[in-house]
Amino acid sequence: MKKSLLLLTTLYFLSAQIMLAQDLIRFMDKSGFWGYKDKKTDKVKIKAEWDYAYEFDSSKTTRVCKGCRNLGLDLWDFSNENVLIYGIDKNGVTFEPHGTGTVYETDHLIIGRSDGLYGIFREGDVEFIPQYNKIEPTYPFAGNFLIMKDNLWGMINSKGDIVLPMEYNKISSDDGNYFILQKGENNFLNPKKEIKRGIANKNGKILVPLGDNGFSNISNGVCILAKTIGGKLKYGIVDTLNREIVPSKYDNVYSFYNGLIPVCINCEEVYVGDNLWIVHGSWGIVDKNGKEIIAPSEGKGKIDQMLSFQEGMVWFCQGCRFDKTSNWRKGLWKGGKYGFIDSLGKIIVPAIYDSAQIFINGLAKVVIQKNKIRKIGFIDRTGKEVIPLTDKYKDITFFNEGLAAAFTGRKFAYIDLKGNEAIPAKFDEAENFYNGYAVVTVNEKKGLINTKGEFIIIPEYETMYPDHWRKDVYEVRKNEDKFWVNLKNEKIFDK
């Protein structure tokens, strides 16, 4: 494994430096697959069927992969156990795959894995030395990677230089530019004295030395600070130099979005199963400068519940109460009316609906119920009912790729963005569309349909899931056997 990775990485960097004339160039087709075509004639020479392909440059061979994915900023992720990396020549002949030796790759370095350990291979290196227990990109990726050895974390930049030594129990960030450093093990939001926290930037400069700081959720130059006041945790906001912006006066907060943060007073934390909810109390919106865009209030207009920002919108309710004994699928909030606040802190949709879900793909499901008549529709981010309320369906899932599954009470259909029934109600169960196809169930067997409702794979499987690493590949189970199939229902490989 080490030799294979070393050979491939050396070849890659040398060829990238030489950059001689080439007769084959890579291209990506409309479906997102990579192949090669003649540079002069523009004719396809090697079919586009790879998730990623490297240039040939001066070499007679190069690499292609299946199962890898782009994380942005020229960062490629090969970490899934089913990723296959092949060598390929200019005739399209592939040779032995090299497994998962490469985990991540950028323009300047390769992060590889061998015998369960991770290592870094940089330009100019002559040997690959796996020595870390874990290496992972910061999220969102801004060029840095976190490295871990013996349960201690550090950080390297995009060239592989160490910017933070491996001496921290935890390093976290919400924007990839500023990081909370922690020494000591405990609840991250519990500022006990044995826990020391500080702040550093992406270049490794220490902005706030380690100390008794209750930092959490750092983003866009501001950080949430928790303090114990009168035996109870209170939350405020500081900048990256630990200068107070908002005093610690709120009982709980969510994370920042676009410089805004939902806050509450007189609220409490409640566990429902493994899920932690912040419930009850009065809610409002504060910006990163400390201005209360919507002030938490116990009087008229009190907001009884908020969720965190989703797609730039905050779900809220007035007059509702949290019921932790409720069935999750039936809703944890009872009574009241529901509306939405946008990323500027403006109430776009007043609390007029009897039920509402968060925004997904630009739309939110809303419900109005009078007596026993329940009408379901969808609104956009302006509050417009783009799909009028109707009682034709008992329930409708969220939209994906322009279609949503709708339950009549007996069977599932699919409706389009105008609310029209695009695929008739004929399925016992129906999943959302993904890459142009949806898994459906008929007589307890699962198959695959296209956007016209035509069966691509006749229902025959007990389970069926799209492989999110490989386009048009599905993991299935039949008679207790698990394997993968393509759109032709051909078995590709076993689990």
Please answer whether residues 20 and 58 qualify as being in contact, where contact means their C-beta atoms are separated by less than 8 angstroms.
yes
In 3D space, the residue among 110, 88, 102, 105 whose CA is nearest the CA of residue 35 turns out to be 88
Verify cis geometry, omega within 30 degrees of 0, for the bond prior to 140: yes
Q: List Cβ<8 Å contacts ≥24 apart for 246-253.
A: 246/286, 246/290, 250/286, 250/296, 251/281, 252/278, 252/281, 253/217, 253/224
Q: From the CA atom positions of the chain, what is the Rg in Å?
A: 27
pLDDT of 148-185, one tens digit each? 999 999 999 988 899 999 999 999 998 889 999 999 87
Running along the chain, 495 residues long, what does each successive block of 10 average in pLDDT?
44 40 78 87 90 74 75 64 72 63 72 79 71 87 90 92 95 92 71 80 95 88 89 91 92 85 87 74 89 86 86 89 62 80 90 91 92 93 94 93 94 95 96 94 96 96 85 88 90 69
Q: How many CB atoms lie under 10 A from the CB of residue 149?
A: 15
Alpha-carbon distance values, 40 to 24, 25, 33, 35 (Å):
9, 10, 21, 16
Residues found in the chain: 495
Beta strands in 39-105 (DSSP E): 44-50, 52-53, 61-66, 69-72, 75-77, 84-89, 94-95, 102-105
Please tell me the distance from the alpha carbon of residue 333 to that of residue 65, in angstroms, as a whole number: 47
Q: What is the pLDDT of residue 100?
A: 47
By CB neighbour count within 10 A (0-12 exposed, 13-18 middle, 19+ buried), where does 122 fall?
middle
Beta strands in 242-371 (DSSP E): 244-250, 252-253, 260-265, 268-272, 275-279, 282-287, 292-294, 305-306, 313-318, 321-322, 333-334, 337-342, 347-353, 355-356, 364-370
Please tell me the distance from the alpha carbon of residue 24 to that of residue 390, in angstroms, as a whole number: 56
Q: What is the pLDDT of residue 457?
A: 96
Please answer whether residues 151 and 144 qualify as being in contact, where contact means their C-beta atoms are separated by less than 8 angstroms.
no
150 contact partners, CB below 8 Å, separation of at least 6: 133, 166
Please answer whether residues 190 and 228 qualify as being in contact, where contact means their C-beta atoms are separated by less than 8 angstroms.
no
323: amino acid identity, one letter: D
Q: Would you list the domain boundaries of the chain?
A: 1-131, 255-391, 423-495
Q: What is the pLDDT of residue 348?
A: 93
Class level of CATH domain 423-495: mainly beta
Please answer whether residues 338 and 305 qualify as being in contact, where contact means their C-beta atoms are separated by less than 8 angstroms.
no
195 contact partners, CB below 8 Å, separation of at least 6: 182, 183, 184, 185, 186, 212
Which position has the token pair 């930049």? Answer: 157
Q: How many CB atoms lie under 10 A from the CB of residue 255?
A: 14
Phi, psi (5° rounding) for residue 311? 55, 40
Beta strands in 150-281 (DSSP E): 152-156, 162-168, 170-172, 178-183, 196-201, 206-211, 215-219, 222-229, 232-239, 244-250, 252-253, 260-265, 268-272, 275-279
Q: What is the pLDDT of residue 89?
A: 79
Q: What is the pLDDT of residue 98?
A: 45
Q: What is the pLDDT of residue 335?
A: 79
337 contact partners, CB below 8 Å, separation of at least 6: 317, 318, 319, 320, 351, 352, 353, 354
> DSSP letter string over 457-474?
EEEEESEEEE-TTSTT-E
Q: What is the pLDDT of residue 1?
A: 44
